Amino acid sequence: MTEREFATEVVARLTARGFTALWAGGCVRDELLGLVPADYDIATDATPEQVQASFRRSNSFGASFGVVEVLGPRGDDGAWLKVQVATFRSDGTYSDGRRPDSVTYSSPEEDAKRRDFTVNGMFFDPTTGIVTDYVGGQADLRDRVLRAIGDPVARFTEDKLRVLRAVRMAARFGLAIEPATFAAVRAMATQVTTVSAERVGEELRKILTHPERVRGVELMRDAGLVTPILPQAAAPIDDALHRLRALPARVSFELAFAALLPPLDAKATAKVARHLRLSNDEAARIGWLVAHRDALDDAAMLPLSKLKSLLAHAGAAELVALHRARGADAGVAFTERFLAETPAGELDPAPLITGDDLAALGMTPGPAFKRILAAVRDAQLENRLPSRTAALALAETLRRS
């Protein structure tokens, strides 16, 4: 069973029990655009308790907001199927700029009017194919317009992250931001700093990993969002856009983020990663890419040991892509020839000796260990050591020097 089939089945079961149940929000937008939704949300007049009573397996972690997660069988990909089912509601005030302080169960029309953008405010009955649209979402989708529902300032005041979501959605779906909506985005751009760094970071991931990342960043620039979110990239943003344009359509977040950043030292790069609460793995890869962003510019002049070490790194392909985006054509051309002519096993061969070998030579573990092992490793990568015996001999020579 696919996720779409399961979401249709949930609607059918609630409808059979006398409730109104409809797909809601982004999945309706994607359905109308001919896209495959990332997930499916369902809105209903059934209360959370009635939803849970209708299904054997569910989670009520969002019941205070009228949301129940209904669990299904394993899907075609082996993962458990699940959809969120929310009771039609109206929201109270948003004192934290993220979630309503209270909710009141209401009608489909009132539920639609509390949502962010018209293209996200429609409902769809998958059993009949009928679209229910109280906010003009179909017309805006047809006209390729992104428009806030009602007063855009009020919508963005409820959740300040919506100013960044407006940019992401406009870029992703090729929509023009309606003038009043864009004016509100610009007026409230600096308030995005009140949103948690994790949520801002997640929006950036979505913007930078999408093929339309350049338009997303251009809209961030035009809306005044770059400086409050990533001040390090604000001044040289045109250089960053040049690099982003030169990237392939599908790239990792780490590569796109490294292309967005200007040259920074390790401390400054780590500070950016901490500020956005990036994962340790993301921070490490971005830091490595930024630190070595020009390392291959003169690849032909690098010691063989240095070149091999760079190209044996897990981020080597991203590093080459970053150099290409920077316009380091000569370095990229040499690197690609080198990779084509060098067997993969020669980039990172097993070390000829280890610390145990140095101990067997009578050395006491200490700073000299690292120095000697590094020197032997460099000689190995530079093809100056034909055997383990030669490596041990070099280690002995270095120990005595």
Query: For residue 100, is pLDDT > 80?
Result: no
Within 10 angstroms of residue 131's Cβ, the number of other Cβ atoms is: 16
Sign of CA dihedral 93, 99, 101, 104: positive
pLDDT on residue 232: 87
Torsion angles phi and psi, residue 127, rounded to 5: -85, -20
Query: For residue 99, is pLDDT > 70?
Result: no
Q: Which two tokens stand for residue 398?
A: 């270095």
Compute CA 380 distance to the chain's CA centroid, rounded to the nearest angstrom.
Answer: 39
Contacts of 368 (CB under 8 A, 6+ apart): 399
- Note whether 312 and 345 are within 8 A (CB): no
Q: Which residue has the higher pLDDT, 154 or 101?
A: 154
What 3-state DSSP class applies to 41?
strand
Per residue in 301-336, pLDDT (tens digit) is: 999 999 999 999 999 999 999 999 999 999 999 999
> Span 94-99, mean pLDDT?
61
- In whole angstroms, what is the distance from residue 60 CA to residue 23 CA? 19
Per residue in 127-179, pLDDT (tens digit) is: 999 999 999 999 999 999 999 999 999 999 999 999 999 999 999 999 999 99
- Note whether 117 and 169 are within 8 A (CB): yes
pLDDT on residue 12: 97
Eight-class DSSP state of 149: S
What 3-state DSSP class applies to 104?
strand
How deeply is 358 buried, as exposed, middle or buried, from its count of CB atoms within 10 A (0-12, 13-18, 19+)?
buried
- Note whether 285 and 321 are within 8 A (CB): no
Global pTM reads 0.89
39 is catalytic: yes
What is the overall mean pLDDT for the chain? 93
Phi/psi-derived region of residue 136, left when phi > 0, alpha when psi is between -120 and 50, beta in every other case: left
pLDDT on residue 101: 66
- Note whether 71 and 81 are within 8 A (CB): yes
When mean pLDDT is compared across 178-182, 192-196, 233-237, the lowest value belongs to 233-237
Tokens 């970071």 map to which residue? 201
First to last CA, the chain: 70
- The domain segmentation of the chain, as residue ranges, is 1-138, 299-347, 355-400
CATH architecture of the region 1-138 = 2-Layer Sandwich (3.30)
Angle at 268 between CA 264 and CA 273, to 5 degrees: 110
- Note whether 25 and 115 are within 8 A (CB): yes
Task: Reduce the secondary structure of 185-224 to three states and give it as a string.
Answer: HHHCHHHHHHCCHHHHHHHHHHHHHCCCHHHHHHHHHHHC
- Note whether 108 and 88 are within 8 A (CB): yes
pLDDT on residue 95: 62
Sign of CA dihedral 277, 280, 286, 288: positive
Per residue in 27-75, pLDDT (tens digit) is: 999 999 999 999 999 999 999 999 999 999 998 876 677 899 999 998 8
Within 10 angstroms of residue 216's Cβ, the number of other Cβ atoms is: 23
Residues of the chain with pLDDT > 90, as a percent, come to: 86
- Label residues 291-329 b or e (16+ Cβ within 10 Å = b): ebbebbbebeebeebebbbbbebebbebbbbbbbbbebe
- Note whether 394 and 361 are within 8 A (CB): no
Taking alpha carbons only, the member of 187, 197, 134 closest to residue 156 is: 187
Q: 30, 111, 116, 357: which one is catalytic? A: 116
pLDDT on residue 60: 81
- In whole angstroms, what is the distance from residue 27 CA to residue 85 CA? 13
pLDDT on residue 92: 63
- In whole angstroms, what is the distance from residue 270 CA to residue 211 CA? 26
Q: Which two tokens stand for residue 324?
A: 């290409």
- In whole angstroms, what is the distance from residue 100 CA to residue 95 CA? 7
Taking alpha carbons only, the member of 224, 194, 97 closest to residue 154 is: 97
Q: 39, 76, 96, 143: which one is catalytic? A: 39
Contacts of 213 (CB under 8 A, 6+ apart): 171, 207, 244, 247, 256
